[in-house]
Structure 1
Amino acid sequence: MNIIESDTIANKAKIAIAVVRFNRFVNNNLLEGALDVLKRIGHVKDENITIIWVPGSYELPLIAKALAISHKYDGIIALGTVIRGFTIHFEFVAKECSSGLSRISMENTLPIGFGLLTTDNISQAIERSGIKANNKGSEAALAVLEMINILKIIKNSS
């Protein structure tokens, strides 16, 4: 039986972080959490991290696709916040962003950390972007680091 597991140290990895400008006060916390994990746990150097600010969550898949086909990055972290309003706009944006990022990840065999908050209200968004705990940006960064290493193991074991 073969078991493949990995750690989260990826000190040579090149990471792109796409961050949504809309709801920036929440997304800044997500970005801080992701950067903390990349540097402190993953040992990723500043020069290997690129941050791209995009207008809204709907634009994340397009930027992720452009980053993926550039072949410059080992992983992408997508960070944003969609807060439910009084219309169905929330459902469209959240669904298209989620499915678009998933499709791009699979089509390009490229880890994309899903750090998109989909919340009912601003309080939930603030809670899920916590600096000390429950930061979904941190979780997305951890997932990307581990997936980068797992994909390398799979590629090198063939």
Structure 2
Amino acid sequence: MASHLKNLSDFSHTTVPSGKNYRFGIVVASWNAEVTGALYKGAYESLLKYNVAERDIISIEVAGSFELIAAADQLLDNRDLDAVICLGCVIQGETRHFDFICNAVANGLANVGLKHTKPVIFGVLTTDNQQQAMDRAGGKHGNKGTEAGITAIKMAALKLEFK
């Protein structure tokens, strides 16, 4: 089935481990707040659903998606976390700014994860328009924030498999 026809945030086909005893950071960009607020809600609620205690979730708001990089790095420098979820939304405009920001954020977050050897989850929407963003922030295609939360739990649990 084509992805444009279904909710992509369905996890009924997989097992999600308990998030109990894990600690997570969530960094959310305030730019495109309607979208990022919905992503945050999805991520936060998914962590709670899988038994992460509220006290084990640290939330930080930054200006835009580019700032997610420094905030994730600072969180991992200063807190004992199992993963950091980064949520943002970059919508295509008339200039190449979109390309530069999306590339920088993707590479920057990957580098933060490698530097700290901790999962840094890329929950940044990169869409052509506002409607596509809304469709992926709790709309007809699910909520990428929910997916990011579940990914964080699964990645934190994966690390235990190597011990």
TM-score normalised per structure 2: 0.87
Distance 2:130 2:139 in 1: 16
SS in 1 for 2:142: coil
Which residue pairs with 1:16 in the alignment? Answer: 25
4+ aligned runs moved over 2 Å, structure 1: none
Q: Matched residues, percent identical?
A: 34
2:146 partner amino acid: S
1:149 partner amino acid: A
SS in 2 for 1:130: strand
Aligned residue runs from structure 1 range 142-157, under 5 A:
142-154=150-162, 156=163
SS in 2 for 1:87: coil
Which residue pairs with 2:69 in the alignment? Answer: 61
TM-score normalised per structure 1: 0.90
Match of 1:114 among 122, 143, 158: 122
Aligned residue runs from structure 1 range 89-104, under 5 A:
89-104=97-112
How many residue pairs get matched? 150
Match of 2:35 among 26, 32, 37: 26
Match of 1:77 among 77, 85, 94: 85
CA contact (8 A) 2:16 2:150 kept: no
Structure 1 residues 132 and 87: alpha-carbon distance in aligned structure 2, compared to 1, 3 A threshold: closer
Distance 1:133 1:8 in 2: 23
Unaligned stretches of 5+ in structure 1? Answer: 1-5
Moved more, 45-54 or 126-135: 126-135
SS in 1 for 2:58: strand
Q: Over aligned residue pairs, what C-alpha RMSD do you find?
A: 1.6
